[in-house]
Amino acid sequence: MRPPWPTSGGTWTRPDEPCAPSIRLNVAVGPAWFLLQAHHGPAAPPRPEHTSFFPHPPLLPIMSAICVYCSSSNAIAETYPPVAEALGREMGRRGHELIYGGGAVGLMGVLAEATHEAGGTVTGVIPSKLQDREGIAYDADELIVTETMRERKRIMYENADAFAALPGGYGTLEEFMEVLTLRQLGYHDRPIAILNADGFYDTLLSFFDELRDGRFARAAVTDLVEVVSSAEAVLDRIERMTAADGRMA
């Protein structure tokens, strides 16, 4: 059984795992959620700021916080975990921050671990009710625990510069559909990408075409979302769109 979190400061370590990283309660921001920071062994020296001798920084890749929605299931086909691993590794290599659902299982766990191991920053956001089911994200640099699913989505949305959807179930689709709808309605213009691994989203994309043809949707999905088939393409498209919009992480 997971022991209770500390209520004010201090350090918590799982007694049955003496080598497990400790989790320190950094800040309590209102009654609804806690901001936790996980330390992975000895503190690593801060990564140096990027220094350029060129006068036009926008020509360089812009480091963004990318919110990724994906499956928390360990029972899915073995085709998909390598896709999440590739995206996490590439995000870490390029210096992007990962914002994700905070779980340690399924594609979420694979994605967070790969991003962390490649040197990227990982921020997890998880409702307290799901911690026992989805585990504690030891690969997260910051873990935000919310009271509700709605608050989880709000925090992820407000802190992201871009969004990406990997294969996933009902939760992934619900989260993706919200940011897609908000973009169509003009509430944001941030990049959205679908990583259509092994044709996973083909049926959904065909349905979106039917919605457009039947005039249930004003815009074609391809006007709102970048549909790609590789991790590298996800980041290439997001970086290109972010640079074109003049966004800074």
User: Would you call 219 exposed, middle or buried from its count of C-beta atoms within 10 A (0-12, 13-18, 19+)?
Assistant: middle
User: Would you call 59 exposed, middle or buried from its count of C-beta atoms within 10 A (0-12, 13-18, 19+)?
Assistant: exposed
Residues 33/27, Cβ–Cβ less than 8 Å: no
The stretches in the chain having pLDDT less than 50 are: 1-60, 246-249
In a domain, 4, yes or no: no
In a domain, 218, yes or no: yes
Q: Are strands 11-12 and 162-165 parallel, antiparallel or unpaired?
A: unpaired
Q: Count Cβ neighbours within 10 Å for each residue of 21-53 and write b for 16 or more, e otherwise.
A: eebebeeeeeeebbebebeeeeeeeeeeeeeee
In a domain, 137, yes or no: yes
In a domain, 7, yes or no: no
Residue 34 to residue 5: CA distance in whole angstroms: 10
For CA atoms 99, 100, 104, 110, the dihedral sign is negative
Total number of domains in the chain: 1
In a domain, 175, yes or no: yes
In a domain, 69, yes or no: yes
At 38-56, the pLDDT tens digits run 434 444 444 444 333 333 3
In a domain, 8, yes or no: no
Residue 242 is predicted with a pLDDT of 80
Q: Give the range of the structural domain holding residue 153, as residue numbers without chain letter.
A: 21-40+61-245
In CATH, what number is assigned to the domain containing residue 151? 3.40.50.450
Residue 24 is predicted with a pLDDT of 32
Residue 62 is predicted with a pLDDT of 56
In a domain, 11, yes or no: no
Helix (H/G/I), strand (E/B), else coil: 12: strand
Question: What are residue 34's DSSP bridge partners?
Answer: 28, 145
pTM over 0.95? The answer is no
Residue 153 to residue 9: CA distance in whole angstroms: 26
Question: What are residue 29's DSSP bridge partners?
Answer: 33
Helix (H/G/I), strand (E/B), else coil: 232: helix
Residue 80 is predicted with a pLDDT of 97
Of 21, 23, 22, 27, the C-alpha closest to 8 is: 27
